[in-house]
Amino acid sequence: MNMLESSDNPNGPNKDLTNFMEQFCLTKVIYEATRTTNCSSTLLDIVLTSHPERLATSGNRQVGISDHDLIFVVKKQKLPRPKATTIDFRSIKNLDQNAFLSDLRNVPWNSSYIFENIDDIWSHWSGLFKQVLDEHAPVKRIQLRNNQ
């Protein structure tokens, strides 16, 4: 499966392997020919990775004992720690459904009709509902650590 992208390979990279790489989101990290003869050069020895940012460098070296080059990949020693994700959510752990519905019934919903603009009416309704909701289901914030 020749993966060389050059004039030496008129057919281009192998289609089956290219489709496989696209399907599994893999990236090729060796780009130069790994087998060189007098009449051809091919890229037969490849390294595929799903996280190329985790690699420091990669390449190939001629060792002289074979027509195949030695390929290498150097992995980064220390990866940056991903930032924690903050999530805001409403805690309904101690929600008393009857008290919540009772407070919603006692909200003066018709007080919003003093406004003429529908956006102002909606804003007033949502403010009244949010006050009741904050009392019964308070907003809590947690931080999730990302895996490295």
Per-residue model confidence (pLDDT) at position 77:
85
- pTM (predicted TM-score): 0.48
92 & 45 share domain: no
- Residue 7 placed within a domain: no
Which amino acid is located at 85 in the chain?
T
- Residue 133 placed within a domain: yes
96 & 60 share domain: no
d(CA 18, CA 38): 27
Per-residue model confidence (pLDDT) at position 8:
64
Report which of 138, 139, 140, 136 is spatially closest to residue 96, judged by C-alpha positions: 136
- The domain total for the chain is 2
Report which of 35, 74, 72, 68 is spatially closest to residue 55, judged by C-alpha positions: 74
Three-state DSSP at 127 gives helix
pLDDT tens, N- to C-terminus, the chain (148 residues)? 777 776 666 677 888 888 999 999 999 998 888 888 888 888 888 899 999 988 999 999 988 888 888 999 999 887 777 788 899 999 888 889 999 999 989 988 888 778 888 998 889 888 899 999 999 999 999 988 876 5
Which range marks the domain in which residue 126 is found? 85-144
Looking at 56, 75, 94, which one is the last position of a domain?
75
61 & 94 share domain: no
Bridge partners (DSSP) of residue 139 are 90
